[in-house]
Structures are given as C-alpha cells and as structure tokens.
C-alpha cells in the first residue's frame, strides 16, 4: 500500500459512527442528512497516492477504480473525505451490485466499473490541502466541503443534502415512500470523533407480511429455532426471502407442534433455502419444508437482491391474511439519489 506521509489523518482512522435512536433530536444545534445504503468509506489522496478505506479498516480502492481515477483528477491533491460508496442501478441503489465489486479478478472489476460505475456520496471533510479539519465543528467542515464541491468536480462525487429543520427531515421520511434508509443527526458544533458513535440515526421500521415456508430446529431438535420466509412474485412463484429467529421461548414451544403438523413438500418453486449462509454460524443448513399456510408479519431494515439483508423481527401472526396476498411488491428498495434530491429539493440551506 502507498504511503500518505503528507496527510494529517492516518489510513487506519475509523469513521465517526451513529447510535440508533427511536426519535430524532430536537433543537437548533442539529443537522439532519439522509442515511445512504452503501459502503461507508474514508477517501484519501496524497499526491499520486489514493486509497478508499472501509469502516472495518480494509482498503477498497482496487474494487472501485472509477472512484480512484476521479480522486486523481481533482485539482486538490491532498484531502481526506468521508462518504458512502453507492451504486445507482435503474431507479434505485443496489447493495448487491456493490457486493459484486468485491471480486478477486481485476478484469471483472474493470468490466463492472465501466458498466455500472459507482459514486461517492460525500457528507464530511477531514482535511483539504494543508488544512486539518478534524477538530473543527461540523459547521466549518460542511462549509469547506461545499466550497470544495463548487469546483470542477467529477460526476462520481455527490454532496449529501442536509437540513437544520427536524420537521423537514421527518418530511423526507414521510414522502420518500420508504425509499430512504433513515436519517442521521449530527451536532453542528461537534468535532469529528473517529470511531465514536457521536451521531444519531433513526431508521425506518419497515414491515412485510410473509409466508412461512419452512423452519429450522434448534441444536437438539426439540423446538423450532427459526422460520423461513417467502414471498410470491408476479409469476406466482414462491421465493425464499429470509428468516426470523426472534421468537420468545413460549412462542417457540407453542408453534413447534403446529409447524410439525404442516410438514410437506417444499413450496419454494422460485429461489429456495440452500447451503449454509453467513448467518448460520456453523449450524446445520438442514431445514424442514411445510405447507404454505401460515402468514407472519416481520420488521426489517434493508433488502438486497429481493431478500432481507439481515434477520427480521417477529411482530405477529396474521391469520387474517391469505398466503397468496404475500407479494414481493411489499419490499421497498432505496431510491436513486436523483429522485431523493428532487424530493428533498432546496431544503439544504
């Protein structure tokens, strides 16, 4: 890795993070921004040396050569910027397309970079030229970032909107059609605190009614450990979209006999549960198919490739809902930045 000896920020610097809250804060000392669904990163340039560093401290530059090239094309050759790598595809942002970039073959990465170029959504500035801004209040850092963005900036860089009005941020959430991932609140007089949860974030509580198409047992096969969830597409094929394991002990005990009585051939005729996944933690991938008769309402945060990215929260059973009413169109992908910018309008003063 190249050295960055002329920068006042180390490559190992962790980005400032946010703490999850139920409600956004009140008061005049807060700035509100959209929460973007991508790869958080710090962008470094020190002359001819450029790197993108992930939140986990791993270099991302080789996976996003178009962003590296854009950084090298800037007139300012010493900078550290904080932002989110996003990848607009059609009318939305694709987290799955971002994941595809993490590929070992440089030729594959180059092809994807040409066909579906990523962008860097910028929302903070740690250094510009010789000016170190980490200890400056956010108001000054934002001012410098906006000044930077008024220059000859490649289309690969976007400036994240902001507002000082809590009600305006609430309107973004209400009118985005659940296209926003959430809102981040930052203190306008706060310094940049690397690695600290010094910001606040409110995420949307999205819900979906899903068919239970199967289940997995616990280690001793005495109780159901998780429910496998499905949704129908436009062709009436049932796709496995994720799982929920957030069941209480009493709920597991009550539902297990009912699940066992529904055992039968798999109803997943679209995508189906398969090999061990990243959430199985070494457990067996064996699962028990059941007849698609039970409907459950779950809460989720994000989707990737028409699947829940993380485990979902069990909310309630829906005996009033017909299984065939559980459709893919419930899942709300995040919108294209241009559409959100149009929604947000001029509320960035």
Residue of 26, 35, 58, 253 marked catalytic:
35
Helices marked H in 61-157: 65-72, 95-100, 106-115, 138-149
Q: Could you tell me which of 53, 33, 215, 24 has the C-alpha nearest to residue 126?
A: 53
Residues with Cβ < 8 Å from 247, sequence gap 6 or more?
224, 226, 227, 255, 314
Phi and psi angles of residue 106, each rounded to the nearest 5 degrees, phi first: -60, -35
35 noted as active-site residue: yes
Tokens found for residue 314: 């069990």
Residues with Cβ < 8 Å from 164, sequence gap 6 or more?
28, 30, 31, 32, 188, 349
- Residue 274: burial class (beta carbons within 10 Å; 0-12, 13-18, 19+): exposed
Q: Could you tell me which of 76, 91, 90, 100 has the C-alpha nearest to residue 7?
A: 76
**Residues with catalytic annotation?**
35
């Amino acid at each position: 890795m190249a050295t960055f000896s002329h920068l006042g920020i180390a490559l190992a610097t962790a980005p400032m993070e946010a703490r999850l809250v139920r409600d956004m804060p009140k008061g005049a000392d807060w700035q509100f921004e959209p929460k973007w669904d991508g790869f958080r990163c710090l962008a470094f340039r020190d002359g001819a040396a450029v790197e993108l560093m992930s939140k986990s401290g791993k270099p991302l530059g080789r996976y996003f050569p178009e962003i590296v090239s854009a950084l090298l094309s800037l007139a300012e050759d010493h900078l550290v910027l904080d932002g989110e790598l996003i990848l607009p595809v059609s009318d939305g942002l694709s987290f799955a397309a971002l994941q595809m970039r993490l590929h070992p073959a440089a030729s594959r990465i180059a092809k994807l970079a040409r066909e579906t170029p990523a962008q860097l959504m910028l929302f903070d500035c740690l250094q510009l030229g010789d000016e170190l801004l980490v200890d400056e209040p956010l108001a000054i850092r934002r001012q410098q970032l906006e000044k930077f963005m008024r220059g000859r900036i490649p289309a690969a860089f976007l400036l994240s909107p902001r507002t000082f009005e809590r009600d305006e941020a609430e309107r973004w959430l209400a009118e985005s059609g659940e296209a926003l991932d959430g809102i981040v609140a930052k203190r306008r007089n706060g310094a940049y605190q690397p690695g600290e949860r010094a910001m606040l974030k409110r995420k949307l509580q999205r819900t979906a009614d899903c068919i239970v198409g199967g289940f997995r047992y616990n280690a001793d096969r005495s109780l159901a450990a998780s429910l496998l969830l499905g949704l129908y597409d436009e062709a009436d094929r049932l796709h496995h979209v994720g799982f929920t394991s957030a069941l209480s002990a009493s709920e597991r005990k009550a539902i297990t006999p009912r699940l066992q009585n529904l055992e039968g051939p798999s109803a997943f005729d679209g995508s189906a549960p398969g090999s061990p996944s990243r959430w199985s933690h070494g457990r067996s991938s064996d699962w028990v198919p059941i007849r698609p008769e039970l409907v459950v309402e779950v809460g989720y945060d994000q989707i990737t490739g028409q699947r829940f990215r993380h485990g979902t929260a069990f909310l309630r059973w829906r005996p009033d809902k017909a299984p065939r009413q559980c459709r893919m169109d419930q899942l709300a992908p995040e919108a294209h930045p241009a559409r959100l910018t149009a929604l947000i309008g001029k509320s960035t003063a």
